[in-house]
Amino acid sequence: MSYQHRWIDGSAIDLPVGKVVCVGRNYAEHARELGNEVPDAPILFIKPASSLVPIAPSFSIPTDQGEVHHEIEMALLVSERLQNVDALTAQWSMAGFGLGLDLTLRDVQNELKKKGHPWERAKAFDGACPVSGFIDARGVSWKQPIEISLEVNGALRQRGNTTQMLFPVFQLVAQMSKVFTLEPGDIILTGTPSGVAALQPGDQLVATFGNTLKVSTTVTARENTEEVAGNEIRERW
């Protein structure tokens, strides 16, 4: 599975592939739909570089670990090293903007939460972060709210805009940079609007970022990794 950052025309972006820094509950509606409190400081977590895959023309989901929820999110591609910066510096240090899916094994996550365990098994697995190509940051204006949306099989499931965020995009990046040094090639996911639900193999997805980006893709079933590993071992013997 190889991933590389790309512009929306498909050409490669000359930045390394790094970590993905994410925020939980950045839209009040979404916090409520999962029965969570609205936080006063952003809830941060990381997906490793190994979780990144291209979102289109298809991406795969595990089928043997309960529900896999879609969380459509605005994705930011970092172009500079950012450590303890302010929001304005953060804004000027982005290479591009796009869309990401924070895939979540919801049943696994609920179990982990109950036990007080970390979330990685539910959110950081291989393929847990499908991302689109990026729009050059210079072509995106922040003067008006930007809307993101997700349709599944023709039905609108998620829609939200930047004014509904509890922590606005670049203030969020600034806060993240106080905890984790952001490196060129890192991606930031800025939280999901309400409407999260389970995906099924065969689902057809259309995701949008403002009027600039529209991505169509298909969900496929991931081969059971343990079985694959078992077969490889048997073949070797």
User: Rule CB under 5 A: which residues touch Zn ion?
Assistant: 71, 102, 192
Instruction: For residue 50, give every residue at least 6 positions away whose Cβ sits within 8 Å of its Cβ, in sequence order, or none.
Output: 126
Closest contact distance (angstroms) between CB of 73 and Zn ion is 6
In whole angstroms, the minimum distance from the beta carbon of 29 to Zn ion comes to 13
In the complex, least distance from residue 131 CB atom to Zn ion, rounded to whole angstroms: 13
The residues, ordered by sequence, that sit 6+ positions from 156 with a Cβ below 8 Å of its Cβ are 149, 150
- Least Å distance, CB 205 to Zn ion, is 16
- Which residue in the shown chain puts its C-beta closest to Zn ion? 102
Select 102 or 186, whichever has its Cβ closest to Zn ion.
102
Our CB check for Zn ion shows the closer of 28 and 80 to be: 28
- Minimal distance, residue 51 CB to Zn ion, in Å: 12
In this complex, which beta carbon is closest to Zn ion, that of residue 39 or of residue 184? 39
Q: Based on CB atoms, which residue is closest to Zn ion, 71 or 186?
A: 71
Half-sphere exposure of 117 (CA within 13 A, CB side): 12
| Closest CA relative to residue 22, chosen from 114, 109, 142 | 109
Residue 37, CB-side half-sphere exposure with 13 Å CA sphere:
5
Going 60 to 57 to 123 to 155, the CA torsion angle's sign is: negative
Residue 91: strand, helix, or coil: helix
